[in-house]
Amino acid sequence: MFSFEGKKALVTGGGRGIGRAIAIALARQGADVAVAARGRSELEQVADEIRSVGRRSFVHALDLADTDAAVKMVDAAARELGSLDVLVNNAGGITDQPGSIGPLDEATLEAFDAMYAINVRTPLFASVAACRLMAMQGKGGAILNIVSIDGVFPAPTEGIYGSAKAALVNLTKVLAYEAGKDGIRVNAIAPGVIETRLTEHLLRTDEDRADRASFYPLNRVGVPDDIAAAAVYLCSGEAGWVSGNVLYVTGGQLATSDVFRWVRAKNPVPDSLKI
Ligand SMILES: NC(=O)c1ccc[n+]([C@@H]2O[C@H](COP(=O)([O-])OP(=O)(O)OC[C@H]3O[C@@H](n4cnc5c(N)ncnc54)[C@H](OP(=O)(O)O)[C@@H]3O)[C@@H](O)[C@H]2O)c1
């Protein structure tokens, strides 16, 4: 099961973190994988790792906030690989524009546009370009968007980020509907906190990590391979009847409402009330 033998994949943000783990996992399952991000040296390291498991790999160093360039890159990657079966829109996160994170009355137009460019506009138009190619190839395909739990639970101070991810959830479902006729499946993964550069500031000390871990029913924060395993499933033939879904990979967050968990943590049920 989960063989990608003969399949060709493109993973954006494949230089580190979640994207790197997905790219390497797909290669280990048999895919040739192109990776894209701004930093060439990280991409080259990942490409070398992919080649070391016997698969072909190509590197595209570009700023994916430039949607025109991203769309051209999809075509170029498909040409190099010979075809395109899987697109993973993983590049995203928080831009360094002032006003990207913080209360909405401090948000700036520049921050809004930058956050929506990388988290919504490019994944959408890259997906549309990939769908055209996949439809012409006539053998279906899989598109996976990496969204966030913040797109489901609105997070104060992360309104622009969360709303961008929520927009991408919506577009995932619309595209799943529209591309289904060509055998193309479109899904999303919503991670909780995963240890990557994006979350470094939350997990600086052992105490930080233990504190975060205690929030999750499974009592740990996530690692990139947690997302890679889910990505392999959703992009594989074994998920052939799964489309328009969001898979929450969140250590059990969502098992109960956050408010309920917070209330219970502060007010354990007294022995006198237990039955
Ligand atoms: N880590 C978490 O807890 C978490 C939780 C929920 C969702 N996510 C989502 O998961 C995805 C991956 O995040 P991560 O945690 O793996 O972050 P990361 O370690 O910072 O990696 C992000 C990757 O995306 C690339 N990238 C970022 N902006 C780019 C741009 N403008 N153009 C081209 N490439 C760009 C980065 O490379 P360059 O900087 O070299 O361009 C890097 O390869 C993001 O969409 C993020 O929103 C993460």
What confidence score (pLDDT) does residue 267 get?
73
Q: What angle do CA 135, 122, 186 make, to 5 degrees?
A: 45
Q: How far is the CA of 104 from the centre of ligand 1 (A)?
A: 22
pLDDT in tens, 83-100: 999 999 999 999 999 999
The letter for the amino acid at 52 is S
Share of the chain above pLDDT 90, in %: 88
Residue 55 Cβ < 6 Å to ligand 1: no
Residue 19 Cβ < 6 Å to ligand 1: yes
Q: What is the mean pLDDT of residues 98-121?
A: 96
Between 75 and 262, the more confident residue is 75
Reduced 3-state DSSP string for the chain = CCCCCCCEEEEECCCCHHHHHHHHHHHHCCCEEEEEECCHHHHHHHHHHHHHCCCCEEEEECCCCCHHHHHHHHHHHHHHHCCCCEEEECCCCCCCCCCCCCCHHHCCHHHHHHHHHHHHHHHHHHHHHHHHHHHHHCCCEEEEEECCHHHCCCCCCCHHHHHHHHHHHHHHHHHHHHHHHHCEEEEEEEECCECCHHHHHHCCCHHHHHHHHHHCCCCCCECHHHHHHHHHHHHCHHHCCCCCCEEEECCCCCCCCHHHHHHHHHCCCCHHHCC
Q: Tell me which residue of 118, 195, 192 sits closest to 160, measured CA to CA.
A: 118
The two structure tokens encoding residue 203: 């997990």
The yes-or-no verdict on residue 181 having pLDDT over 80 is: yes
Between 155 and 8, the more confident residue is 8
What confidence score (pLDDT) does residue 274 get?
76
Q: Cα separation of 16 and 96, whole Å?
A: 18
Atom 34 of ligand 1 has which residue's CA nearest to it? 37
pLDDT in tens, 234-274: 999 999 999 999 999 999 988 666 666 666 677 777 787 77
The yes-or-no verdict on residue 24 having pLDDT over 80 is: yes
Q: Cα separation of 229 and 242, whole Å?
A: 16
Share of the chain above pLDDT 70, in %: 96
Q: What is the mean pLDDT of residues 201-230?
A: 94
User: Is 248 noted as a catalytic residue in this protein?
Assistant: no
**Domain architecture of the chain: domains with CATH:** 8-273 (3.40.50.720)
User: Average per-residue pLDDT in the chain?
Assistant: 95
The yes-or-no verdict on residue 30 having pLDDT over 90 is: yes
Q: How far is the CA of 93 from the centre of ligand 1 (A)?
A: 5
Residue 65 Cβ < 6 Å to ligand 1: yes
The yes-or-no verdict on residue 44 having pLDDT over 90 is: yes
Q: Is 22 exposed, middle or buried (0-12, 13-18, 19+ CB in 10 A)?
A: buried
